[in-house]
A = this chain, B = another copy of it.
Amino acid sequence: MSEVSTSIRKDISLYCSSCGASFPPDMRLLACTVCGEPLLVKYGEISSNPHMEIPVYSCNALVSLGEGNTPVIKMDKLGSRLPCENIFAKLEFMNPTGSFKDRGTAMMISVAKGFNIANLVEDSSGNAGSSVAAYCGKAGITAHIFVPSSAPQPKLDQISVYGAIAHKIEGTREMVTDAASDFVDEKGYVYGAHKLSPYFLEGTKAFAYEIARHNLGEMPEHIIMPVGNGSLYIGAWLGFKELIFKGVISKMPKMHVVQASAVKPLVNLFSGNHEEEPIGITVAGGISVSNPPRSKLIGEILLETGGHATAVDDEVILEWQKILAQENGIYCEPTSSSAFAGLEYLIRDGIIAKKESVLIAVTGFGLKDNLYI
């Protein structure tokens, strides 16, 4: 691997959000060498124009498949079911590979291309895998995707369709990560893990910029999303912070986290429940993450923005998947419909009031995970 780059911005560095240590922008560095926390990107200079800061010099250096600029629609058919009047959905499944992951992947692979990387390893429950497969194909990078053999068939198929090498691993989600990690050690390839890459978050920031543009600076009061590793959640928060710094918006929305009752480490962290609990099985495969590497930062964002972390039951998740498809024309994954289940719980618990505005990220296309509908 030759690390010569002309497209990467010269003023970027990586830093640890926990201890503050600073590092050069190396794609192989995925955690702070001092305290072990994952890293974030820091820009030496942030321009005062309203455009998003990106780690490459210009949009021409981006490996793009047309990701982002997803529509926001008003959910006017929840009224009888939920006593809320201002619920909006941002349809993130309308991305090139069918999930929000494309935002982060586009940026991560653009940087990988800038560093002339030839082989990239990723592990994923499916959506990130197919996304990385697609962008690596476009960038001319060989992608090695480690997936649980139990992932939905359309996601497994999609990875191969894009020409990536799929490594199907039997066992738990952790065993998939371990296998990817061993492969990286053995081959010396770059581990482009979406859950660890700081560049991935620089792509998902665009979610926040689009909301600001859509609402012309007026933020929704609440944002709700399903959170596993938090790559959209943290990216959106970074985007809002940058927008506040640039003076485009003045207020941060309350950023709520939804998890499945069977796998809820972030909810436990939020509620101060430190007892070890058994990890169960959930229909929401995209958020079935027992040990999110950036959980400390997610906890801080919850506190800072006044968000809540809520766990929802599988049967309510599946009920919402049906409601969204049959009454609202939105065919999403169970992982995505969990956010609407979360909305129901947050209203029930008095966290969200009738007149307040709510924006929900609909993260993945139902065509990719249709086991239960």
Contact = CB atoms under 8 A, between A and B. Distances in A.
A157 interface: yes
Contact of A94 (B66, B162, B163, B368): B66
Interface in A47-89: 64-67, 69-73, 77
Given A138-B328, A368-B367, A69 B69 contact: yes
Nearest to A135: B329
Interface string A146-176: 0000000010011001110000000000000
Interface stretch (A95-103, A262-270, A284-292, A306-314): A95-103
A226 interface: no
Contact of A367 (B134, B135, B330, B367): B367
A330 B72 contact: no
A215 B367 CA distance: 32
Of the candidates A64, A72, A98, the one having the most CB atoms from chain B within 10 angstroms of its own CB is A98
A370 interface: yes
A373 B66 CA distance: 22
Contacts of A367: 98, 154, 158, 365, 367-368
Contacts of A368: 367
A91 B73 contact: no
Nearest to A64: B73
Interface string A335-373: 000000000000000000000000000000111101001
A325 interface: yes
B64 A331 contact: no
A162 B326 contact: yes
A327 interface: yes
Given A331-B134, A331-B158, A163 B326 contact: yes
B161 A329 contact: no
Contacts of A366: 158, 161
A71 B77 contact: no
Given A96-B94, A137-B325, A367-B154, A65 B330 contact: yes
Contacts of A330: 65, 96, 134
Interface of A: 64-67, 69-73, 77, 91, 94-98, 134-135, 137-138, 154, 157-158, 161-163, 325-331, 365-368, 370, 373
Given A154-B370, A365-B367, 15 more contacts: A66-B73, A66-B91, A67-B71, A71-B96, A94-B94, A98-B367, A137-B326, A138-B327, A154-B154, A154-B367, A157-B370, A161-B325, A161-B326, A161-B373, A367-B367
14 contacts: A66-B71, A69-B69, A77-B138, A94-B94, A134-B325, A134-B331, A137-B328, A138-B328, A154-B367, A158-B366, A158-B367, A162-B325, A162-B326, A162-B331
